[in-house]
Amino acid sequence: MKDKVVIITGGSSGIGKACAEVFGINGSKVVITGRNKVNLDETALLLRSKGITVLAIQADSAKEEDNEMLVNETLKVYGKIDILINNAGISMRALFADADLSVLKKVMDINFYGTVYATKYALPEIIKNRGSVVGVSSIAGSVGLPGRTGYSASKFAMNGFLEALRIELLNKNVHVLVACPGFTTSNIRNTSLSKDGTIIGESSMDEGKMMSAEEVAWSIYKAVEQRKRDLVLTSQGKSTILLKKFFPGLVDKVVFNHISKEKDSPLK
């Protein structure tokens, strides 16, 4: 990965920040984005203190024009793009019957359309350099999570988009990776949207029992290096996807029971 130019959306916290550090310490030049300039600048300062070459660009993944600007600025500074890691994401926690539709649209705009926009503008460079497109998806992109209909829908959509893109690019030697981390210690649950779109502000789960963002980042790094097509992390995630193929009704009940035990679960 030495001297590869890596764009990481949502790179100021969680998995994105960890990816920036892992790729950076292995010699990549990283570009990180985020909507919060203070967090973005703090992350960039931390990365530079570790000797990492980093460009921080304030951008909103949900805006097409911001994604076009991101690619243009990267090319101005580094002259190329080798890897795009579509990591920017947001979640929600509310029953569909109770949720305002604007909440689902916001989640879809960031998680799915953010991936579409960034990939669209970065793709010509990635094709030229036979690089990689990565989508940081979720087990929720293979198994629907109650209380997170918008989140699951966005990740199912991301998975389908990247799978179709991979097939389109078979003869271009472009690597497409769908990474599904499972439950990971990150900021995404703290910034989840409630039924009316306000930020919940606290996690509904025991974060201490989850895979760390750093572990996920190293797994993504190795998967990019080895040009894997899929990455499913945690034994819970792997077993859930496998069981769904053969016992879908059982998985429905297991998932329902698991989510119903969450703190302040929306399931009755």
Which tokens in the block code for residue 166? Answer: 């991979």
Report the chain's C-alpha Rg in angstroms.
18
Which of left, alpha, beta for 223 (phi over 0: left; psi -120 to 50: alpha)? Answer: alpha
- 53 vs 25: CA distance, rounded Å: 9
Question: Any bridge partners for residue 54, and if so which?
Answer: 30
Concerning whether 151 is annotated as a catalytic residue, the answer is yes
- 259 vs 42: CA distance, rounded Å: 34
Phi and psi at residue 36, to the nearest 5°: -90, 110
- 153 vs 148: CA distance, rounded Å: 8
Which of left, alpha, beta for 36 (phi over 0: left; psi -120 to 50: alpha)? Answer: beta
Angle of CA points 83, 88, 91, to nearest 5°? 150
Catalytic residue among 117, 121, 151, 221: 151
- 89 vs 16: CA distance, rounded Å: 10
Residues labelled catalytic: 151
